[in-house]
């Protein structure tokens, strides 16, 4: 190497060493911060925040008679909240209401409402009048009967209206009913149940995936608007949970029971404005959104759901 080349190397050697040291230090700081944040969320949690004394006496849960919604109602009642249960079937509402009242000794109130329609909100508003609502859980949701191409969905027009009313309109309307009183009191929490399917477009469940992406974006925007006023808005993105909606019958570590999932998710309130709610789901979300290309994830989901679709249609022909 020429003398001039050596001189250039010596001239840049020290700045490059400094840059490398700074980069290593920055990566180390970021890694330690993420580790400590992970320990704070997934090990220590924030369970003490979710209490009537800190948020308000009543919790309102939509879609409260099955799955995740029922689990939220039961866990919040266990923590001392009085519960307003909102769902379509009065018979199921009465059963869940009695069960919660007997086990937890809290007050319960039921409102029968079909969220596939849009004329229900005056009735709900009347039912919530005068209550100090500390938590709203926007859980009610509907998905596909089976994976299907958009144009081949049975009764497509009706399906679109129902899914949008249940998954999107309900979140906006329920929030508009409850949020004003929370702002007046400068405390309260709104937990909007989105889905891991909101993290990337899911073919053959396209409308459902898109509707849950709306819930996630709505929640994150609302959180930015109202966090300075003492209101917690959280977007919850569960992956597979053993519920009737997911058609998973047996719980596993990565597919927990609704009760196990909700107990973990409530401990993230106030710590994460967007959460997977459950540590194994958080790992899965990180892998699918950070490590893997979006096209690969979409391609994998297409193949998996095509298999499910073929199995369902085959059973329909045989049955």
Q: Three-state SS string across 209-258, please?
A: HHHHHHHHHHHHHHHHHHHHHCEEEEEECCCCCCCCCCCCCCCCCCCCCH
pLDDT of residue 33: 47
Domain that holds residue 62: 54-318
pLDDT of residue 9: 55
pLDDT of residue 100: 97
Mean pLDDT for 142-170 is: 97
User: Per-residue confidence at 7, pLDDT binned at 50, 70, 90?
Assistant: low
User: Higher confidence at residue 31 or residue 271?
Assistant: 271
pLDDT tens digits for range 287-308: 888 888 989 999 999 999 999 9
| Residues contacting residue 72 through CB under 8 Å, at least 6 positions apart | 59, 61, 64, 137, 139, 191, 262, 266
What tokens were used for 304? 């998996």
pLDDT of residue 247: 78
In a domain, 197, yes or no: yes
pLDDT tens digits for range 86-109: 999 999 999 999 999 999 999 999
Q: Which of 72, 144, 208, 278 is catalytic?
A: 208
Indicate the number of domains in the chain: 1
- Looking at the DSSP bridge assignments, the partners of residue 111 are 86
pLDDT of residue 219: 98
pLDDT of residue 74: 98
In a domain, 10, yes or no: no
In a domain, 210, yes or no: yes
User: Higher confidence at residue 238 or residue 39?
Assistant: 238
The answer to whether 302 touches 149, Cβ cutoff 8 Å, is no
In a domain, 74, yes or no: yes
Integer-rounded Cα radius of gyration of the chain: 23
Mean pLDDT for 148-162 is: 98
**Mean pLDDT across the chain:** 90
34 pLDDT higher than 60: no
For position 285, which CATH number holds? 3.40.50.720
pLDDT tens digits for range 177-232: 999 999 999 999 999 999 999 999 999 999 999 999 999 999 999 999 999 999 99
Mean pLDDT for 246-251 is: 83
In a domain, 188, yes or no: yes
**CB atoms near residue 218 (< 10 Å):** 19
Let me know if 121 is a catalytic residue: no
In a domain, 79, yes or no: yes
In a domain, 34, yes or no: no
In a domain, 294, yes or no: yes
User: Higher confidence at residue 102 or residue 318?
Assistant: 102
> Rounded to the nearest 10 degrees, how much is the dihedral formed by the CA atoms of 159, 162, 167, 172?
140
12 pLDDT higher than 50: yes
Q: Best-predicted range by mean pLDDT among 107-116, 248-257, 276-285?
A: 107-116
| Residues contacting residue 173 through CB under 8 Å, at least 6 positions apart | 118, 121
16 pLDDT higher than 60: yes
pLDDT tens digits for range 125-134: 999 999 999 9
236 pLDDT higher than 90: yes
């Amino acid at each position: 190497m020429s003398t001039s080349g050596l001189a250039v190397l010596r001239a840049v050697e020290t700045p490059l060493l400094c840059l490398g040291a700074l980069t290593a230090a920055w990566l180390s700081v970021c890694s330690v911060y993420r580790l400590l944040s992970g320990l704070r969320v997934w090990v220590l949690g924030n369970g003490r925040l979710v209490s009537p004394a800190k948020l308000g006496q009543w919790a309102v849960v939509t879609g409260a008679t099955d799955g995740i919604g029922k689990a939220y109602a039961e866990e919040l009642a266990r923590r001392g909240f009085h519960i307003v249960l909102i769902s379509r079937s009065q018979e199921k509402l009465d059963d869940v209401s009695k069960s919660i009242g007997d086990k937890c000794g809290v007050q319960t109130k039921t409102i029968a409402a079909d969220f596939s329609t849009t004329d229900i909100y005056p009735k709900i508003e009347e039912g919530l009048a005068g209550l100090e609502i500390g938590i709203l859980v926007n859980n009610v949701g509907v998905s596909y009967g089976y994976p299907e191409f958009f144009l081949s969905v049975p009764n497509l027009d009706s399906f679109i209206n129902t899914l949008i009313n249940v998954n999107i309109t309900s979140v906006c309307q329920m929030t508009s009913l409850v949020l004003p009183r929370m702002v007046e009191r400068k405390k309260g929490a709104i937990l909007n149940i989105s889905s891991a399917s909101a993290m990337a477009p899911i073919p053959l469940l396209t409308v459902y995936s898109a509707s849950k992406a709306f819930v996630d974006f709505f929640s994150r925007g609302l959180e930015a608007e109202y966090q300075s006023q003492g209101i917690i808005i959280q977007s919850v993105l569960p992956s597979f949970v053993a519920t009737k909606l997911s058609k998973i019958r047996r719980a596993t570590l990565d597919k927990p029971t609704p009760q196990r999932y909700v107990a973990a998710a409530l401990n993230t309130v106030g710590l994460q404005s967007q959460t997977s709610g459950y540590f194994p789901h958080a790992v899965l979300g990180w892998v699918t959104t950070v490590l893997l290309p979006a096209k690969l994830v979409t391609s994998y989901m297409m193949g998996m759901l095509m298999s499910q679709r073929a199995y369902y249609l085959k059973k329909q022909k045989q049955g």
